[in-house]
Structure 1
Amino acid sequence: MDHCFTYGSLMCEDIFTAVTGLVLRPEAAVLEGYARHPVIGTDYPGVRRRDGARVPGRLYRNVSPAGVAYLDRFEGDEYRRERLEVTLCDGHTVAAWVYVFDTAQGHRLDAGPWDFEHFLREGKARFLLRHPPAPL
């Protein structure tokens, strides 16, 4: 079983469950040394390395190998799965899979930050229309 850190649409438990078929409770975590940016023309973000930056997100623990395979398909060629350390609220760190935006696709990231609250208010409904849950 693996842990997965999410920082975009997959922070929504309903989307995570629809993608993986797993019902897991996430916990707050932070990815240090990365910045989160909108992917141009979409409602979801990507992360890339940036010294001093930090990305808030959610950690899902004990994701099954099948769940990780579903996430790999969902993220597609735009992302690379990397094992990185994330920091929990209590200060402890945990190794987790993180889907980092492919550097070859970096030109597709907007310079500004991606806002989760804005996604919930305005982007989630559009996202679900463009990316309906795949049958499990």
Structure 2
Amino acid sequence: MSDDIAMLCHVFTYGSLMFAPVWEKVVQGSYRSMPATAREHARFDISGETYPDMVPAAGARVDGVIYFDVSADDIAALDAFEGTEYRRHMISVVLGNGDTLKAASYIFIAPERLSDALWRPESFQMERFLSTYCPR
């Protein structure tokens, strides 16, 4: 097995990165993706932001998108994009066919910024987000 293969990682996205226009501005590679669910997690609004957070929460679930076999270079780009308020953790996600697998996901670590409101993907303000966080 080559070092490149060993460095590949699945990535579960649940906020801005689950939208192709954002994902494609952050990563260089092209990756297969599909809907997936993170159980035992919840997704909330962050006060004053258009993107959400995801935190562990018993009995909750978050629907998102999983990208398969993401390269180490693109994982580094995702780490930089997520910044200091998120940490990459391995979590279990469930695919549409019921299979469960491990994937990296970015968990919010600034609880003082959390809102009580659940974040809804249909309310995502794509243009505002792109112009603020992906201006190139």
Q: Common fold, TM-score beyond 0.5? A: yes
State the TM-score, normalized to the length of structure 1: 0.91
Secondary structure, counterpart of 1:77 in structure 2: helix
Does the 8 Å contact 1:34/1:48 carry over to 2?
yes
Q: 1:115 aligns with which of 117, 120, 124?
A: 120
Indicate the larger mover: 55-64 or 22-31.
22-31
**Following the alignment from structure 1 to structure 2, what is the Cα–Cα distance between the partners of residues 127 and 85?**
28
**Following the alignment from structure 1 to structure 2, what is the Cα–Cα distance between the partners of residues 6 and 26?**
10
Give the 5 Å matches for 1:1-136.
Answer: 1-102=8-109, 105-119=110-124, 123-132=125-134
Count residues with an aligned counterpart.
Answer: 129
Given residue 129 of structure 2, which amino acid in structure 1 is its aligned partner? F
Secondary structure, counterpart of 1:111 in structure 2: strand
Does the 8 Å contact 1:15/1:133 carry over to 2?
no
| Structure 2 residue ranges without an equivalent (≥5) | 1-7
| Structure 1 residue ranges without an equivalent (≥5) | none
Q: Name the structure where strand makes up a greater proportion of residues.
A: 2
Provide the alpha-carbon RMSD of the alignment.
1.0
Does the 8 Å contact 1:6/1:98 carry over to 2?
yes
